[in-house]
Structure 1
Amino acid sequence: MKFLFYLFSIAVILLLSCTSTNKVLKNEAKSQNNNYNILSLGDSYTIGESVCETCRFPEQLKDSLSNNTKDTSFNLKIVATTGWTTTNLLNGISNENLPNNYDLVTLLIGVNNQYQGKDFSIYEKEFPELVDIAITKAKGDKKRVIVVSIPDYTYTPFGKENTTISSEIDTYNAFAENYCNANNITFVNITDITRNGLEDTDLVASDGLHPSKKAYSLFVERLLPYALEKL
């Protein structure tokens, strides 16, 4: 009987030891995975036309994530150029040798389709393609993707509150939001922030057209809770 009790005790000790070792290994693995990669895809609103490099929203988001997490570092890659349409972005991505290991991917695209008078059917075809690419780059996990709504540039000195253009931007945003909702992809609306640009001129950059650092900071306030959930 004593021998059986002895064997039982040894088995318990070994089990606890293995469990403890597994926990240590998991914690060590977690501590080694403190380097997060962010990919931001888009156009002038992503590259931050007319604002400083650290003022654009992907940079501010990276800094906010760093400030809200412990012992972590964040690497940011931006694929965006002022004036890019969905077609341009698709081509731009194909010219990059991007890995499929990003922990977070943001996508903000479409304003230049509208501005350049492209047929809406192009956006209907290419926006889903870009979302699929974003998912692929995000380790194949759509939960790591955030789609951002298109700002409304009519609420600027350049746009002069053109209601027709605003309505067209609404159409683009509605399509993107409906697509994201149907496919369980995070969609964050920041358009209403930019529609305060004529009342609060600090929301508009010095060029009288693009969002300012302040506007991008407000974008990040919306994005940050969703981004933190994805890490």
Structure 2
Amino acid sequence: MPLRYLALGDSYTIGEDVPAQARWPMQLVEKLRKQGTAIDDPQIVAVTGWTTDELSVGMDQAAFAPGYDLVTLLIGVNNQYRGRPAAEYREQFRALLMRAVALADHRAERVVAVSIPDWGVTPFGYASGRDRGQIAHELDGFNAIAHDEASAAGAPFVNITGISREHAGLVASDGLHPSGAQYALWTEAIEPVVAEALQRAAVP
């Protein structure tokens, strides 16, 4: 039976303004398949603009079949964008992570958390008039929280924020979201962690 994959998130997971095949969850699946892993297309529960609490509501309304072999979680940019507090993010991210672990048959090693990219370095960020240093500082704080919570839960964490800063020009036509080329770079960083997670999950 092919492995089953659930991707939870927001615009970065649904791949706003890029073709479906360019989304990083789809690129991840294709990369795994080329390496001999039989895996279904991802079930994606993600909507552009979602915050942590909105993802939770979206999950309440989604149809799940627990026992996923892989779950990825990337959420929080809209919390930062809307000025929501870090303490709230910690509480809600932890709850989402626990839900993800439950959907992964209570095996935290099957859940891979991915850091929030830095939208402040994009053309949209430059044009926004907001303090890009403050954006970076706040996102670094949110990512530190996500890393801490993932570590505490025993879930792997992948930091792609540096990639988003180093390749800020690789954006979609909206000038904000990553292009397929930037998602490919994310996938290169995420795939080894996912491959190790799947290997560990296969051990009784």
User: So what's the TM-score if we normalise by structure 2?
Assistant: 0.91
* Equivalent-residue separation in structure 1 for 2:158 and 2:105 (angstroms): 21
Q: Secondary structure at the match of 2:42?
A: strand
Q: 1:167 aligns with which of 108, 118, 137?
A: 137
Alpha-carbon offset, residue 159 of structure 1: 0.7
Preserved contact between residue 36 and residue 75 of structure 1 (Cα < 8 Å): no
Residue in 2 aligned with 1:183? 153
Tell me, which stretches of 5 or more residues in structure 2 are unaligned?
199-204
Residue identity matched to 1:185: A
* Equivalent-residue separation in structure 1 for 2:55 and 2:153 (angstroms): 21
Preserved contact between residue 5 and residue 39 of structure 2 (Cα < 8 Å): no
Deviations 1:50-90 (A, max 9, x none): 111110100101111111115x2423100000000000000
Superposition pairs of residues 63-78 of structure 1, within 5 angstroms: 63-69=30-36, 72-78=38-44
Residue identity matched to 1:91: V
Q: 1:144 aligns with which of 110, 113, 116?
A: 110
Preserved contact between residue 42 and residue 80 of structure 1 (Cα < 8 Å): yes
* Equivalent-residue separation in structure 1 for 2:41 and 2:174 (angstroms): 29
Preserved contact between residue 66 and residue 74 of structure 1 (Cα < 8 Å): no
Residue in 2 aligned with 1:21? none
Alpha-carbon offset, residue 46 of structure 1: 0.3
Instruction: For CA contacts below 8 A with separation 6 or more, give which structure has more relative contact order.
Output: 2
Preserved contact between residue 70 and residue 110 of structure 2 (Cα < 8 Å): yes
* Equivalent-residue separation in structure 2 for 1:122 and 1:115 (angstroms): 14
Residue identity matched to 1:51: V
* Equivalent-residue separation in structure 1 for 2:135 and 2:51 (angstroms): 16
Superposition pairs of residues 32-181 of structure 1, within 5 angstroms: 33=1, 35-69=2-36, 72-160=38-126, 162-181=132-151
Deviations 1:160-212 (A, max 9, x none): 271011100001001111222233210000000010244xx2x1111100111
Preserved contact between residue 57 and residue 216 of structure 1 (Cα < 8 Å): yes
Tell me, which stretches of 5 or more residues in structure 1 are unaligned?
1-32
Number of equivalences = 194
User: So what's the TM-score if we normalise by structure 1?
Assistant: 0.81
Q: Which has the larger radius of gyration?
A: 1
* Equivalent-residue separation in structure 2 for 1:102 and 1:67 (angstroms): 21
Residue in 1 aligned with 2:163? 193
* Equivalent-residue separation in structure 2 for 1:131 and 1:162 (angstroms): 28
Relative to 1, partners in 2 of residues 1:73 and 1:114: Cα closer, same or farther, differing over 3 Å?
A: closer
RMSD between aligned alpha carbons?
Answer: 1.3
The 4+ residue runs of structure 1 with deviation greater than 3 A are none
Preserved contact between residue 29 and residue 39 of structure 2 (Cα < 8 Å): no
* Equivalent-residue separation in structure 2 for 1:185 and 1:121 (angstroms): 20
Residue in 2 aligned with 1:30? none
* Equivalent-residue separation in structure 2 for 1:123 and 1:178 (angstroms): 12
Alpha-carbon offset, residue 225 of structure 1: 1.0
